[in-house]
Amino acid sequence: MISESFSCPKERYDAFSVITPNLNMGHYLEETILSVLKNLKEGDEYFIVDGGSTDNSLEIIKKYEGYLSGWISEADDGYAHALAKGFSRSGNPFQCWINSGDFILQGALDKARSILTESGSDLIFGDDIYINEKGYIIEITNGDAKNLKLAMLNGGWTPLQDACFWRASLYQRIAGIDVALKYAADYDLFLRMSLAGKAHYSPHIYSAFRKHAGQKSIKNKSQYKREREESRVRELKKIYAGKFLSRWIISSYYWIRIRWRVRIRKTKIDSSGFIGRHITEV
C-alpha cells in the first residue's frame, strides 16, 4: 500500500527530510510521529516507510497522513532497505532518520539546521537520552568524539544514530545506505560518511533513544558486531594496504582509547534532575 499524497514543499536551502522506518511498532509509533511533527517547519519533509505491519501501525499512519509528505507500507528486506526507499523520495538538502519508538526533542531540527549551515559541516553528531520502554529516562549519553573518522575506523565506535544529521549531497556522494546489511547498516553508513565528508560534534541533546527488547542492536548483538567489523576492516585495508603492523598498532590504540573514553565521559555528564523523569517532561 502506498500513499501518493506527497506534498510540494516550498524550496529552502536548510530544509530537512526526515525518515521513520517502522515494522509492527504501533505501540510507540504515534509518539515518534508527534515528536517529528512538532519540529517541522515549512519546506521540511517527513516520510514513514512501513515494512508491511500487521498491528495498528497503518491506522496510526493514516491518522496523521495529512501532515506527512508521504508514506508506504509494503514488505521490505530490512531496515536499511526501508531507509533507502525513504531517502530516495527525499528532496531536501538535509537528512536524518528517527526510528519508531524514539523521539526528536523539541527544537532539535532547528538547532541541527543552524549548525549544519553555519559550520559548513557535511555531518554533525550529538548527544541523546536513553529511555526505557515506558518512556522514563535511564541515562544521558555523550556522543563526543574528537575525530569521528579515527574513532570509527580504528576504535569501532558508532555515533548516536538518532542524534546524527547530514547533507543529502554527502549521502548521495557515498551512494547511500548499504541495503545488503541487516544489522550494522548505521555503522557502515556513518563510517563511509566520516571518510568522505567533514564531520563535526555538536554538544547538544537532540533525541531520546528507547531501549526495548525488539531492537536489532540488542537482540542480534553478535551479528551487529560481525557486520560492523567487516565494514571496519574493509576500510582499514584500503587505507593501510600492505601495512599490517601499522594498522594493528593504531587500531589497538584507538580501541583502548574508545573503551576508556566511554567510562570517563559518562562520569562527566550531569544527569541530576533527569534520571527517572518521563521524556515528555523534559
Quote the percentage of the chain above a pLDDT of 70: 83
Total number of domains in the chain: 1
Q: What distance in Å separates the CA atoms of residue 129 and residue 18, rounded to the nearest whole number?
A: 19
The single-letter code of the amino acid at 276 is G
C-alpha grid cell, residue 270: 550531569
* CA–CA dist 96, 94 (Å, integer): 7
- pLDDT-derived band at 213, boundaries 50, 70, 90: confident
Instruction: Give me the CATH number covering residue 152.
Output: 3.90.550.10
The range of the structural domain enclosing residue 248 comes to 2-281
- What confidence score (pLDDT) does residue 155 get? 83
Q: What is this structure's pTM?
A: 0.89
pLDDT of residue 267: 43
